[in-house]
Amino acid sequence: MGGTWLWQIPLALGLGGMMGSSFGLLPEVAPRALGKASGIVGGLGATGGFILPPLLGALVTDALPSRGLGVVTALALITAVSGVWLMVRDR
């Protein structure tokens, strides 16, 4: 990433925007169970923090560092497909 900290700024803004949007929608989606829904969202986010680093550590080697991009791409595709499926299902 160039050896600088400048790449952290867009990542932090993106993370803050995603967290704000997901927690901002909770009162509309689950008004009677806001605490439970908030716990589930936070737990899913924490699970990603526990699963992704060991997975990347197991797959990425000095010879094939691009495997990490494949893992992140696969997770992004799974998330996108799940989101589209949920939108279609709720119509």
Report mean pLDDT in 10-residue bins for the chain, 91 residues: 73 83 82 85 82 84 81 86 84 69
What pLDDT, on a 0 to 100 scale, did the predictor assign at position 42? 83
Q: Give the list of residues 6+ apart from residue 83 with CB closer than 8 angstroms, or none.
A: none
CA distance 63 to 66: 9
Q: Is the separation of the CB atoms in 15 and 38 below 8 Å?
A: no
What pLDDT, on a 0 to 100 scale, did the predictor assign at position 3? 64
What pLDDT, on a 0 to 100 scale, did the predictor assign at position 60? 83
Sole residue written with tokens 């995603």 = 18
What pLDDT, on a 0 to 100 scale, did the predictor assign at position 65? 78
What pLDDT, on a 0 to 100 scale, did the predictor assign at position 2? 56
CA dihedral in degrees (47, 14, 53, 39; nearest 10)? Answer: -10
Domain positions in the chain are 1-51, 60-91
